[in-house]
Chains A and B, each alone.
Chain A
Amino acid sequence: MSDSLLDLEAVSAGYAGRPVLREISLSVQSGLVVVILGPNGHGKTTLLRCISGLVKSTDGVIRFDGKTLNRNSPEQIVNLGIAHVPQGDLLFPEMSVRDNLLMGAYLCANAEDRQDRLEEIYVLLPKLKERWEQMANSLSGGERRMLAIGRGLMTQGRLMLLDEPSLGLAPVMIDQIYSVINNLKAQGKTIVLVEEHPKRAFEVADFVYLLEDGRIIWQGKPEEMTGRKEMLGAYLGG
């Protein structure tokens, strides 16, 4: 496990005494796309929030790039190189597309560097460039998702956490989002992807974890999973 970028060892977490994650252990190797699947409400989002520091773990160790993360605040964790694109986008509604993107580069102190990063994102996501002046809350669902991902990319974090990128989108938009994700994968980005319905996620996955009731009940390569019909039934329904 020495070249894994992210390591979780027996991590537990919960809200107000109610346990959500129970002794999760997983690792993410650099340059891979790791997909976390599982039914809704079983802890996938909490897992990502734990990694990015929005939720404090009650037990276990989280290691990123060799450093232990447990007590750090989200601000510090972003600084270390983890970008979290949260469920529901959490955009800044009354700020323009450009300002939302620039916020992604908040930790970059140099205005020119920020501008450079912005140009890169505009190349990757040309629709955002078109709408650069528009208020975030006037964008369509698919555009918002693009903006959220673009904003996350602006942080230039080494690890990207994507929480349900296909949530609430029409199939056409999902195609576009996943083509972007494929693009990122081709660039060698390390991604932890959470999805409820796995069909598209399988196409990009290098490794899969199955999360049920707060526990990892299965892990392996996506090919291995398609070989097991029982699990297939429950999870390929969407």
Chain B
Amino acid sequence: MIRRDLIIGLCLLAVAIAVPFLLGNRYLITQLTLFFIWATVVTQWNLVFGVAGIFSLAQMALFAVGAYITAMFSLYFGVSIWIAMIIGAVATVAFSLLVGLACLRLRGAYVALLTFAVSQAIFILIITDVECFRMDGTICYQLTGGVKGFSGFEDFGFREALGYKYWPIGNYFVALVLLTLGMIFAFAIIRSPMGFAFRALRDNEGYAMASGVSRFKYQLLVFALAAFFTGLAGGVYAGHFKVVGPSLFSLSLLVYLVAMMVVGGVGRPWGPIVGAALLMSADESLREFGEYRNIGIGAVIVLSVILLPDGVVGALSKWTHRIWPSKEKPVPD
């Protein structure tokens, strides 16, 4: 199993490295950069939700916290964005620990409910931030940027280093490294004894608890570690787009990423990559139907959950097992 993952991973990585040099299309490169960022977030979300069984709806809030902290440290303290990103990721972990300690001992629906409420609470605090923290001439800037959002901080510095033509490639590789690290982490958890324990917990909670597996501790650990990469992704987002705003908390963005997870296959290790690729391609090709975009994504989610409960990866996996029944027991891949 691990060997197959490694082969697939290395092939994809090789392709990803080659793309900017073979297809120099600037638009493609920036879209792929965004794809890497979203895929990272969804990979962590899939780990938290699909593998560890935590019904967290706060992942976008964690992403946003990482983005905002990165931006704020960069702007207010003049810290290099590279360091600010790490600070942002660590802050996200701290925040996730608070949320996790509060929620994770509770049953599934309560976790969903509370994480969603936390997300909304931060959103409200940001958009109702109206006090002027600093003035630039006559323009009022709030501490968190308020409704307008936050900008004016540093980026990764590739503009100076590589010049106008090639700087997107710099960001592209930063995002690719992010995704690679995030995926290595996710696979490490899934294929480890801890991952096995989570599957056992999911299938039979009583048995697992009786054999000494502490659901809460494991979940908290995964939740916090996944938060690191989610927050880091937020930092990369900030460095790439150079602006962060409350739209990161929007329901339509949350729904977009949830769709990626669901279409790919909840709990399936390669699901997020597949899901993100499919959703972003669909988004591209249906761009003319702009008004109906969100309706379309909502419909995709509802249909996926009904027709493809294991996502595309799950469906393909069932197919291939039918054609090539493998000797090993069908472990949910």
Query: Are A and B in contact, CB atoms below 8 Å, in the complex?
Result: no
